Structure 1
Amino acid sequence: MSNLITPMFMHIFLCALLYVFLTLARAPSVWGVGKNKDGSNPFADIQPKVSANLSNQFEWPLFFHAVCALLIALGEPISNSQVSLAWVFVIGRVLHSLVQIFTDNIRLRGLVFTINFVAVLAMWLLLFIEQVLV
C-alpha cells in the first residue's frame, strides 16, 4: 500500500466532517431544529464560513490529490520527502479550516494557506525533478 493513501484519506475525512458540520449549522434554518427562541439560527455567523471553507477544499487540494495519484500510479518508491510534504499539507488544511471557521484572522489564514500551497508545490517540483530532469 502506498504511504500517500493515508494523508489522502485524511483530507477526504476532513471534507466529510465539514459536510457534517455544515449540515448541523444549517439545521435550524432548513429543518427548524435548534432555533433560537426568536426563531433565528444560532449558527448564522459560522455557517457561511463553513460553506466557504468546504468550497476551498475543492480548489488547491485538487493539485494535492492529482500529484498523489500520479506518484502512486508511477509505481515507483515514494520518497519520505513526498510523504512528509503530504502530511504537512493535510495538517495545514486542518489548521486552515480551524482558522477560517473559528476566527476572523485573515493574516493567520493566509499564512496557513501558504504552508499548504508550498507543500503541494514542492511535491510537484520534486516529481518534476525526479521524472523529467533526472
Structure 2
Amino acid sequence: MDTRQRIENLYALTAAGKWDEVEAQLTDDFKIVEANSLPFGGTYAGKDALQRLYTKVFAFWADPSIEMHDIVTSADNAIGLLTINATSRHTGQRLAMKVAEVFHLRGDKISGITPYYFDTAEVAQAAGPAVEAA
C-alpha cells in the first residue's frame, strides 16, 4: 500500500470507528498535537490517542462530514488537505473548517498527526468552552 492509500485507509477506518484497525496503523509512541487555543487542544499520545481525541472533538460537533481535497506525500510525511463540515452543539452554527493535517511516517506506520486549522479562533468560538474528557 502506498502512502496516499495508507492515509486514505486511516481516514476510512477512523470514520467507521474501527479502532483496532486504526491502532494497527500507528506506532506505539504515536502522538497527535492539537492547537492549545482549541477547546480540545493538547497532546494525545499512545495507540488509543486518535480514538480519545476523536471522541472528545465530536462531543462539540454534530453531523460531521469530511471533504477530502488532496493528499500530498513525501518520504517521511503526508499532508491531507480537507474541509470538516460540522454543526456546533454549542451554537447550532454549521462550520466548514479548512484543515491541513500533517501525518508523520515511520516505516510502514504513522507516528503522529499535527492538524493545522485555517481559523482556530472561529472553531474555538463555535465549539464553546472546553470540557473535561470522560
**TM-score interval w.r.t. the shorter chain?**
0.3 to 0.5
TM-score, normalising length: structure 1? 0.33
Larger Rg: 1
Give the structure with the larger helix fraction.
1
